[in-house]
A and B are shown apart, each in its own frame.
Chain A
Amino acid sequence: MRTRTRPEGLYGHYGPAVDPWEVAATVTDPELPMVTLADLGVLRDVRAETDGTVVVEITPTYTGCPAMGVMRADLVHALHRAGFADVDVRTVLSPAWSTDWISEEGRRKLAAGGIAPPGRAPLRAPGPIPLQLGPTRRTADCPLCGSSDTEELSEFGATACKALRRCRTCREPFEHVKEI
């Protein structure tokens, strides 16, 4: 999608005196509203071209992530509101997004929001991908009581990026951003 719409003449044509990255970095994820797209590493680049167009690059978390359209719309809106008239949101597929790109700040916000942040993503070397048939090796501390005695209920959760776990100490279920 190439978005080249002009908001209703509020801002003149010299452009606002703010860094478009700072504006785009305030936009939150539609499904994880406690973190920004920048925290997640989904926001890859924001730059102003010489003609004033702001080019934003985002990368999908999962190939089928249905939130991409909302992310684009939210980014365009935030930048329009800040006075950037021409905004071009581009998809970057390579390199593939990894949970390792979630910032420390993002991990803190996830945990504070009751979602366990991911551990280290599996290394994807060239060649065959080894089978993992045993109980999943990952661990996650309970974001509610802090216990490390937790178990995985399902590798798949309410959104593509999350697994479902349960704390054996406080017995509460919780979500876990799974490593990819």
Chain B
Amino acid sequence: MPHEETVYEALDHAHGGEGQWAFGTGFDEPLAGVDTTVPDGVDPAELGEYCLMLGDDALVLAQRLTQWITAAPELEEEVAIGNVALDLLGQARLLLARAGSVGVLGRSRSLATESIPDEDALAYFRDPDEFRCTALVSAPNGDFAQTMVRLLVASTVRLAVFARLRESGDPVLSAIAAKGVNELAYHRDHAGRWLLRLGDGTQESHRRAQAGVDAVWPLLAEVFSPTGLEQRLTGIAVDPSSVRDEVRGVLTQVLERATLTVPPWPGDATPRGRLGEHGPELADLLGSLQALAREHPAATW
């Protein structure tokens, strides 16, 4: 079947010829046609908040990982990091769209023009205190070894949560989780193999891998602490304290095989990130993520 028009004309045509918002061209609503009815007995606002927690973790880690683009140690690794970030960005889009579908739009929705999809308004127009990610994902990358340690830890936690979320009573969350599990298993195992290479490599790579572990470990303190919301969403959300033993088991297994020392496990701390309390590093990161959209809120191409 011959195509007479360019792909850009085709996209514009498919979208009713209204032109595209600059940050959304070709990326139509990720939940198009999906039944987004909220299950009986579930508070939509709480479901939306929970989706922000999961979505923001993915969005912020994706943004951190993209800081390696053009700077990774080898081309194949740069492609790998880009792929991992793209998977996480996809998960973030679905989760932020899910939050938007139940009316959780952030207090900044009015700053974005109406034609901007909800998930983009949530990503580009919320202030740092409206983000619900943990410090585990917002912390700076450090060197490559530390980046791989953080990726290992963050994807191990996320994989354990998503594996349980496959049984969520919200069919949208359970579908997102079932897809995400397949992707996250690749991410975790990729980072795990790097830890084996680095930890059981040269003296210098071992030193850097151990330093990365030591730097990342304290960030685990708030990861397993529920905010209260997760328990109120019984059957919908996953209580993060329920994945602690599994995560510890996996991380210990990788570190021991990598000849690295497992630091003492930090005690549970208040989940500050989930409550919107972040260090300046998140504001810095969001500055680069959001600047263009805020400067040109109605830009089209």
Contacts and interface: CB of A to CB of B under 8 A. Distances in A.
Interface of A: 1-3, 5, 23, 26-27, 30, 57, 60, 62-66, 68-70, 72-74, 76-78, 81, 88-97, 122, 124, 126-129, 131-133, 153-158, 160, 164, 178, 180
B1 A26 contact: yes
Contact of A156 (B16, B26, B80, B175): B80
Interface of A is mostly: loop
Interface in B164-188: 166-167, 171-172, 174-176, 178-186, 188
B144 to A, nearest CB: 15
Interface in B23-38: 25-34
Contacts of B33: 1-2, 57, 88-92
Interface stretch (B82-90, B99-107, B207-215): B82-90
Interface residues of B, number: 66
Contacts of B31: 91
Interface string B174-207: 1110111111111011101100100000000000
B163 interface: yes
A70 B13 CA distance: 11
24 contacts: A1-B14, A63-B183, A64-B91, A69-B25, A69-B27, A72-B14, A73-B7, A74-B3, A74-B10, A76-B10, A77-B5, A89-B33, A90-B33, A90-B34, A91-B30, A91-B34, A93-B94, A93-B175, A94-B175, A96-B178, A122-B185, A131-B188, A133-B192, A156-B190
Given A1-B32, A94-B174, 5 more contacts: A63-B180, A66-B27, A68-B27, A90-B32, A94-B171
A180 B189 CA distance: 14
Contacts of B89: 64
A155 B84 CA distance: 11
A129 B159 contact: yes
B7 A62 contact: no
Contacts of B79: 154, 156-158, 164
A63 B1 contact: no
Interface of B: 1, 3, 5, 7, 10-11, 13-17, 25-34, 76-77, 79-80, 82-84, 86-91, 93-94, 159-160, 163, 166-167, 171-172, 174-176, 178-186, 188-190, 192-193, 196, 246, 250, 253-254, 257
Contact of A154 (B3, B80, B166): B80
A64 B96 CA distance: 13
A131 B14 CA distance: 42
Contacts of A164: 76, 79
Contacts of B180: 63
Give the most central of A122, A128, A129: most B CB within 10 Å. A129
A19 to B, nearest CB: 14
B32 A2 contact: yes
B212 to A, nearest CB: 17
A152 B160 CA distance: 27
Nearest to B33: A90
Nearest to B77: A154
Contacts of A68: 27-28, 30
Nearest to B196: A133
Given A154-B79, A164-B76, A96 B16 contact: no
Given A63-B179, A77-B3, A69 B32 contact: no
Contacts of B159: 129
Given A91-B32, A127-B163, A153 B76 contact: yes
Nearest to B162: A129
B189 to A, nearest CB: 5
Contact of A93 (B87, B167, B172, B254): B172
A96 B163 contact: no
A49 to B, nearest CB: 13
